[in-house]
Amino acid sequence: MVVKGDAKSQKTAAYLKTLIKDIYDDKNPDKIITIGGDGTFLKAVHLYESILDKVDFFVFNTGHLGYFSNFDIDSINDLLTKINSDSYQCSEFNLLEYKIQTGSNTISGIALNEVTIINPTRTLMLDVFLNNQLLEHFRGTGICISTPAGSTGYNKSLGGAVVDSSLEAFQVTEIASINSRIHHTLSSPLLLSKKHEVEFKAEDPTCIWITADSKSLTIENFQSLAIILSDRKVKFVRNDISFIERLKKNFI
Ligand code: NAP
Ligand code: MN
């Protein structure tokens, strides 16, 4: 279990623990229940990054947005039945894989929602490559690269498209790009298939910020960031809420 610190989430966790038959194993779980909101689910995904192929997530919402949630107080018995009988089906979410190159270091990782590259105080200057071909010289605040599951997160606030999570695609969305007589970028959100790798290279080594979901990294001497849609996936216990219902429930 990965549980948010508030009283309601803690109480729900204590209650569920008394009724779940599985042996509790924090180190090598095959089922993970997250109790809280989307932030708690994202935290759990990163906590168990190395064993994602082996675990099924039950996402219990205790009163946050909970876009990812498939259980709440009204369906707590359904959760218990599914977990105790081991009879449930899973949907899968695609992940992004990123690789950061600095002058002295390589840092890699995964993201379920998005990776962003940002400089909030100075104009970020990047050369953007698709499969090693130069697309544009970007000038602006930043760039957001999101999965279909993450398309309703930060990407949506940037005017990116909402994408059905059964599509094997990822999206590149600009954050306040400069477009003038001198500087040009594509300006539209760009939806790419799995065949593509997108790479951002610093024109000069600089300090920038990179986020992967709720995680944030300060990168000194940044050289490049490469991103692909990963073969690795997050397995998420399915419920009867359709994609359309999920959109209506959370946004309309
Ligand atoms: P947070 O500040 O609580 O997240 C902001 C909101 O986004 C919360 O209401 C969260 O739901 C919701 N959310 C997270 N993933 C979502 C998704 N895939 N679809 C729809 N809504 C989603 O921080 P957090 O809980 O750690 O979540 C991190 C995420 O926040 C990032 O991955 C990014 O997508 C998003 N974010 C958005 C902006 C923006 O829109 N300007 C800026 C930074 C980050 P809960 O209330 O259930 O946690
Ligand atoms: Mn949150």
Q: What is the mean pLDDT of each run of 10 residues along the chain (252 residues)?
A: 97 96 94 97 97 97 92 95 95 97 96 97 96 98 98 98 96 98 96 98 92 97 97 92 92 95
Same domain, 32 and 131: no
How confident is the model at residue 71, as a pLDDT? 95
Choosing from 88, 117, 148, the residue where a domain stops is 88
Q: Are residues 136 and 64 in the same domain?
A: no
CB 199 within 8 A of CB 228: no
Residue 245 lies in a domain: no
Beta bridge partners of 237: 90
User: What per-residue confidence (pLDDT) applies to 239?
Assistant: 81
Asked if 213 and 137 sit in the same domain, the reply is yes
Residues 217 and 133 occupy one common structural domain = yes
Q: Give yes or no: 38 in active site.
A: yes
Percentages helix, strand, coil for the chain (3-state, rounded to 5) are 25, 45, 35
| Amino acid sitting at position 134 | L
Last residue within a domain, chosen from 88, 116, 138: 88
Q: Kindly provide the residue ranges of all beta strands, DSSP E only, lying in 131-168, ordered along the sequence.
A: 133-146
Q: Looking at residue 206, what is its pLDDT?
A: 87
Q: Do 118 and 215 have their domain in common?
A: yes
Residues 38, 164, 231, 240: which is the catalytic one? 38
Give the CATH number, domain containing residue 132. Answer: 2.60.200.30
71 secondary structure, DSSP code: B
In a domain, 247, yes or no: no
The binding-site residues of ligand 1, defined as CB within 6 angstroms of any ligand atom, are: 37-39, 42, 64-67, 113-114, 149-150, 152-154, 157, 213-214
**Residue 109 contacts residue 85 (beta carbons within 8 Å):** no
36 and 125 together in one domain: no
Range of the domain at 223: 95-231
In a domain, 244, yes or no: no
pLDDT of residue 17: 95
173 and 65 within one domain: no
By C-alpha distance, which of 135, 141, 33 is closest to 80? 33
Mark whether 202 and 112 lie in a shared domain: yes
Domains: count for the chain: 2
* Three-class DSSP category at 39: helix
Task: Provide CB contacts within 8 A for 203, sequence distance 6+.
Answer: 125, 126, 127, 137
Q: Are residues 84 and 100 in the same domain?
A: no
What is the distance in A from the centroid of ligand 2 to the CA of 112? 14
Q: Are 74 and 116 part of one and the same domain?
A: no
Model pLDDT, residue 27: 93
Q: Report pLDDT for 64.
A: 86
Q: What is the CATH number of the domain that holds 41?
A: 3.40.50.10330
On whether the pTM is more than 0.85, the answer is yes
Q: In angstroms, rounded to a whole number, what is the distance separating the alpha carbons of residues 15 and 212?
A: 32
